Amino acid sequence: MIKGLGKLEVITLFAEDLAATRAFYTDVFGLEVVYENDDSAVIKFDNLMINVLTVANAPELVTPSPVGGTDAAPRALFTIEVADADTVCAALEQHGVRLINGPVDRPWGRRTAAFADPAGHVWEIAQIL
């Protein structure tokens, strides 16, 4: 075991349209931008930050691996615990967010629904049943 790897601080998401993706997190999630420039916007959750970075700047972080396109299937799912999945789904839809699935009761004791940001990153809300 390697010590010191237990605190997740920032998740970097690559986006073709920085403005639309930034607006998604500020308008739909109601989050604050704590830093931004022409290439990125750092958005603060209660317990971590998301750095939305333009796709043009992504290669320097992942080279020699290629940057995946928006047509690629999802490779990650970010889950947010909510008190009432149905209420949150209704609010998401009022903000123009199209649900991928749900809300649906899962056998592991959660009521979930999934949706994507403008860059294709998939999010899930989960209510503990």
State percent of the chain over pLDDT 90: 78
Query: In the Cβ-directed half-sphere of 18, how many Cα atoms lie within 13 Å?
Result: 18
pTM: 0.86
pLDDT value of position 115 = 93
- The fourth-level CATH superfamily of domain 1-66 is 2,3-Dihydroxybiphenyl 1,2-Dioxygenase, domain 1 (3.10.180.10)
pLDDT tens per residue across span 99-119: 999 999 999 999 999 999 999
Instruction: Enumerate the domain spans of the chain.
Output: 1-66, 74-129
pLDDT value of position 2 = 65
From its phi and psi, is residue 66 left (phi > 0), alpha (psi between -120 and 50) or beta?
beta
| pLDDT band at residue 63 using 50, 70 and 90 as cut-offs | confident
Domain at 74-129: CATH architecture: Roll (3.10)
Classify residue 7 by burial, with Cβ atoms within 10 Å: 0-12, 13-18, 19+. exposed
- Per-residue pLDDT averaged across 30-41, rounded? 97
Same fold, 1-66 and 74-129: yes
Tell me the Cα Rg of the chain. Answer: 16
